[in-house]
Structure 1
Amino acid sequence: MICVILVAGHGRVLENEIKNNAFGHYSSLEGVPKSLLPGIGGKKILDFWWDAINTRQVFSDVYLVTNADKYKYYERWATAHGFPVDNIINDGSTIQGNRLGSVGDFDLVLRNKRINDDVLVVAGDMLFQDHNFDITQVVDYFKRKKGELAIYYEMEPTELSQSRGIVDVCPLTNRITRFIEKPAVGETLSRSASVVFYCFRKQTLPTITAYLTAHPDVQERNFGMYMEWLVNDSNVEVYGMKLPTGFQLIGQIGLQEYEKWLEYFSDKQLQQRAKEPYTSEAYARVGLVGNPSDGFHGKTISLSVANFWAEVTIKESQKLMLVPHPLNDPTEFGSLGDLHGISRKEGYLGGLRLLQATCKKFYQYCTEQGIALPKRNFTLKYDTNIPRQVGLAGSSAIVTATLKCLMHFFDLTDSDLPRPLQPQFILNVEVDELFINAGLQDRVIQVYEGLVFMNFSKAIMGSKGHGDYQRIDFDLVPPLWLAYIRNPSDSGKIHSNIRQRFDSGDAEVVAGMQKFAELTDQAREALEGHDIPRLCDLMNANFDLRRHLYGDKVLGDENLQMIELARKFGSSAKFSGSGGAVIGICLDPAKLPLLKAAFQEEGFVFCEIIPRQTMPDCLSRGSSTDEEISSADQDDETNDHRNNESTS
């Protein structure tokens, strides 16, 4: 691949203001080309670009196009920076009136050097905020998409879209659907600004000559107008890639703006470097009704539980490090017997693999979606009190918290990874990377929190790409209890063939999953109608149906013992998830202490559930998650809930 740096502009506004500055602060910079002016930290702007581009593994040659007026400056720069002087192209222009235009300069290089290769072209006189973006990630994405590529960034609030090329980008394919060079006020709502930072395939290069032939006026020979033509009026597919940095083309600004953007970008970098460690939590969940139909296009109602949580902390570091948890990822043991006992009880798979898989999938997602990440390293560590192997979604809680940390660290928002799609991302981490059998329910409730009704019907999933998730009034949650096996183990579990039967169209299983969905609809009506006895009956029916479909051998003796014990005291009871824990509603409060004592006498852990409530947000009752949820609902009640845990 070839790289071309354009520095042949003749804009004199900044140069004249530097020359006429009354205070003489910039006297040493009189006549200096714009791209050789100081950038952030005093380093020349072009030096930053050369550092980013000087990668022989990516570019076989790099060319720099300048004008006759400033050629000597660049010749001197080249000898001091290891840039081949023979690769500086002089376009012969000396004033604005005889310029070639940026597209004309690009065409000059293509003809002069007889280039027949893919090309990356940038404007070398652009200030940019974050100098750690990875040029190889840009090139890799360009090759992956097999189309032209335009880099864009989200404009700062103070920037006017009328001064930029603005793009509309398809959120599914990342294809640029419209390019507007310096749009009129109100012409577009997009704040995605394209700059002279493009990748072109060699088969598209002839369009440069075609465009110049059709546009002899030099006023139309800038890259913004060419890209507007290429995107809107040709059949060439142009894709967009978002960089996590702002750009300012200083060829179009004066001294005051130059100083302002230098200070602004410097402050931004200081803020990033000084970013404090960030901790995110995700909570255990209980399936109130409907599970396990979330993996079979069914419906569920799920509730966040504040008693149990996982938290992940991220902080910037020189190297990328994943910190093992002293209990969950042991590497030291008192003896071989200790190793045997801990491995037999806890298994071999701690939380470290979850952090690593999430990081891997996060980078993959950003690469596929055209989101370039800055080269910033971090340290991740985690903690959790969610009991293992009892169906309270402990693994997905760690993944969810890790995703929140990564999005915060790299300044990604719900527009980069939409909230309704985050549960699918989390599920993909567990299924694709770690081969964990799971459904969407756990991930949905851990992303949204609160009390949520979920519809995973095939029609909805096919049309939206995600389920329909609706908030239920949190005040409707009845008092719930939770009991779980003290020392669970994966060994000896009988695996179910329900998935194979469902996929093959087994009538009994398909009808059973439909029945789970009907129970969920009825449970919602019972909740909203304050009919708790009816809700108890539906929870019991939910378990009875599960038992019928899966069989007692799959469910296990201890799980069945907990269900029977609860019903002995007149309480409803069903699995909270996949087994290992049960939840219920005790209609007679006087029996709750007796129920608790009975479970404890049998060696089970018993607690009263503390629901995890979120602050009000724009996902109102009955609305779809196509509306975004405010990020303000994350952590306000965390400490109070932890201080009031009742886990024994």
Structure 2
Amino acid sequence: MRQVKCVAHARAGLLGNPSDGYGGKAIALCIADFHAQVCIEPSDRLRLSRGLQPGRAFASIGAAIRDVGDSRYDEGVRLLRASMKRYFLAFPERAFQASASLESRFLMRYETDIPRQVGLAGSSAIVIAALRALNEWFGTDLSSQAMAQMAWSAEVEDLGFSAGPMDRIVQSEEGIVAMDLAEEGDFSSYWSLIGVELPPLFMAWDPNGGSPSSLAHDSLKKRWRSGDPIVLKAVSQFRDLVDEGLILLKKNNHDGFRDAMTRNFRLRQTIFHVGQIDLEMVSIALSLGAGVKLCGSGGAVIGIPFSESDFSLLERAYRDKGYEFIRPVLKLSDSHRKSESRNQ
């Protein structure tokens, strides 16, 4: 039986976020430790579900992509429906052809192990995985850039989320990615950081999760659009910080990059409310000499220890407070893998 399985991984911002949604710059990476998977296989009718649950059946592709934000559906199923809508808007001939063939009768199901609502881009991972699966199922040729744009449109325009381009760009491209997002809606100004040696990283997060990241961005988006001088100044400083970070990485100045990550967090505090849990996670790292910032909108931190021997101290400190802790593994892009193989 034909079956398609595609994945997209969690992401963490290294510098610049949250300015990516407000004309800023960012450096982010894909994390191999967590992913969302979308599977498509033949079925007697079109059906969308989470895991092995029965899911929801639809009479046609048209019915599945109508009113995709209907809150009666599981959030993950809404993400699948919005992904389908954007895919078939890009390839309308596929929807027409599929309606007259068995291709339109399939089971599309998602699974994810990305910790929920801690700023690791779990929602956009489901969308990117769904677009990859549809792309393979219908035999089309979506570029990474087009996929990122479609994912953003699905979440922001169709589902009403407040979000910047960063997550979708890095999840579609993979590896380590730098982005200049000065022009709103421009998904073309990014580049993979091939050959860059990252310092050793740690991640910690709240296993209880938090609130949806879009809630954190709603107020800031209004302030930015109204020309709030505090927000505009911070965005300009984030852009400068990313430029500095790129130079530091190029020079393998990991001490400088560690300091830049902490300055990113301090700058964020000038425009964003930071909750007690996030403050505690940051304080744990700083008390042990590490550089640290939030991975995304809150609920998880990423950082660089002062020395290799500090990893065990950091892990014990976080776990003693009830937080999860890992040393994240970079999810390499095809370009990164080819570069590594040439250098071996």
Q: Which residue of 2 aligns with 1:537?
A: 259
Extract unaligned runs of 5+ from structure 2: 56-72, 340-344
Give 1:619 shift.
11
| One-letter identity of the residue aligned with 2:166 | Q
- Cα deviation, 1:131-180, whole Å, max 9, x if unaligned, reads xxxxxxxxxxxxxxxxxxxxxxxxxxxxxxxxxxxxxxxxxxxxxxxxxx
Q: Secondary structure at the match of 2:291?
A: coil
**Which of 479, 483, 504 does residue 200 from structure 2 map onto?**
479
Within a 5 Å distance, the mapping from 1:558-637 to structure 2 comes to: 558-616=277-335
- Return closer, same or farther for 1:373/1:297 CA change in 2, 3 Å cut-off: farther
Instruction: Kindly provide the amino acid, as one letter, of the partner of residue 525 in structure 1.
Output: I
- Offset at residue 612 of structure 1 (A): 0.6
Paired position in structure 2 for 1:444 = 169
- Which of 261, 274, 287 is residue 555 of structure 1 equivalent to? 274
- Per-residue CA deviation, residues 601-630 of structure 1 (Å, 9 max, x unaligned), is 00111111111112337999xxxxxxxxxx
> What amino acid sits opposite 2:98 in the alignment?
P
Work out which of the residue numbers 237, 246, 249 in structure 2 matches 1:524.
Answer: 246
User: Structure 1 residues 496 and 350, CA, compared in 2 at 3 Å: closer, same or farther?
Assistant: closer
Do the aligned residues in 2 keep the contact of 1:315 with 1:380 (CA within 8 Å)? Answer: yes
Which residue of the partner structure matches residue 546 of structure 1? 268
Q: Is the 8 A contact 1:314 1:405 kept in 2?
A: yes
Q: Which residue of 2 aligns with 1:40?
A: none
Counterpart mapping for 1:120-199 below 5 A = none
The structural deviation recorded for 1:508 is 1.6
Corresponding residue of 1:490: 211
Q: 1:467 Cα shift?
A: 3.2
- Deviation of 1:423 after TM superposition, in Å, equals 0.9
- Residue pair 2:10, 2:32 contacting (<8 A) in 1 also: yes
* Matched position secondary structure for 1:303: strand
Mapped to 2, the partners of 1:520 and 1:435 lie a distance apart of: 28
Match of 2:98 in 1: 374
Secondary structure of 1:318's counterpart equals: coil
Deviations along 1:181-228, whole A, 9 cap, x unmatched? Answer: xxxxxxxxxxxxxxxxxxxxxxxxxxxxxxxxxxxxxxxxxxxxxxxx
Shift of 1:561: 0.6
Matched, 1:408 2:136: yes
Counterpart contact for 2:165–2:187, Cα < 8 Å? no
Q: Secondary structure at the match of 2:271?
A: helix
User: What is the CA deviation profile of residues 306-357 of structure 1, one whole-angstrom value per residue up to 9, with x for unaligned ones?
Assistant: 0001111111233111123369x8xxxxxxxxxxxxxxxxxx9541221122
Using the alignment, how far apart are the partners of 1:509 and 1:295 within structure 2?
12
Cα separation, 1, equivalents of 2:307 and 2:314: 11
Query: For this pair of structures, how many residues does the alignment match?
Result: 316
Matches within 5 A, 1:286-301: 286-301=12-27
Pair 1:308 & 2:308 matched: no
Letter in 2 for 1:388: R
Partner of 1:323: 49
Deviation at 1:421, TM superposition (A): 2.4
Identity among equivalent positions (%) equals 34
Question: Structure 1 residues 618 and 586 mapped into 2: Cα distance closer, same or farther (>3 Å)?
Answer: closer
* Corresponding residue of 1:97: none
Partner of residue 399, structure 1: 127
Post-superposition offset of 1:588: 1.1
Q: Is residue 471–residue 619 contact of structure 1 (8 Å, CA) maintained in 2?
A: no
Question: What CA RMSD, in Å, does the superposition of the two structures yield over aligned residues?
Answer: 2.5
TM-score for both structures, normalised by structure 2: 0.85
Contact 2:175 2:336 in 1 (8 A): no
| Larger RCO: 1 or 2 (CA < 8 Å, sep 6+) | 2
Matching residue within 107, 111, 117 for 1:389: 117
CA distance in 2, matches of 1:359, 1:569: 46
In structure 1, give the amino acid aligned to 2:159: L
Query: CA 1:292–1:434 in structure 2 vs 1: closer, same or farther (change >3 Å)?
Result: same
Q: 1:432 to 1:619 in 2, by over 3 A?
A: farther
Aligned equivalents of 2:217, 2:131: Cα separation in 1: 30
Q: Which deviates the most, 443-452 or 469-478?
A: 469-478
Task: Tell me which amino acid in the other structure corresponds to 1:374.
Answer: A
1:430 pairs with 155, 173, 176, which one? 155
- CA distance in structure 2 between the aligned counterparts of 1:312 and 1:596, rounded to whole angstroms: 32
CA distance in 2, matches of 1:454, 1:387: 25
Measured against aligned partners, the alpha-carbon deviations of 1:365-408 in whole angstroms (never above 9, x if no partner) come to 323x9985433221111111100000000010010000001111
CA contact (8 A) 2:195 2:336 kept: no
Secondary structure, counterpart of 1:323 in structure 2 = strand
1:280 is matched with 6
Task: Report SS of the residue matched to 1:443.
Answer: helix
User: 1:324, 1:352 within 8 Å by CA — same for their partners in 2?
Assistant: yes
How far apart are 1:587 and its partner, in Å?
A: 2.3
Q: Using the alignment, how far apart are the partners of 1:611 and 1:619 within structure 2?
A: 15
Q: 1:618 to 1:473 in 2, by over 3 A?
A: closer
The structural deviation recorded for 1:474 is 4.7
1:40-93 CA-partner distances (Å, limit 9, x unpaired): xxxxxxxxxxxxxxxxxxxxxxxxxxxxxxxxxxxxxxxxxxxxxxxxxxxxxx
SS class of match (2:334): coil
Kept in 2: contact 1:366–1:373 (CA 8 A):
no
1:20-55 CA deviation, whole Å, 9 max, x = no partner? Answer: xxxxxxxxxxxxxxxxxxxxxxxxxxxxxxxxxxxx
Describe the shift of the 1:483–1:526 C-alpha distance in structure 2 as closer, same or farther (beyond 3 A). Answer: same
Matches within 5 A, 1:216-295: 276-295=2-21
Are the counterparts in 1 of residues 21 and 164 from structure 2 also a CA contact under 8 Å? yes
Write the letter of the residue equivalent to 1:535. Answer: F
* Unmatched tracts of structure 1, length 5 or more: 1-273, 330-347, 621-648
Instruction: Report the Cα distance in structure 2 between the residues aligned to 1:474 and 1:393, rounded to whole angstroms.
Output: 25
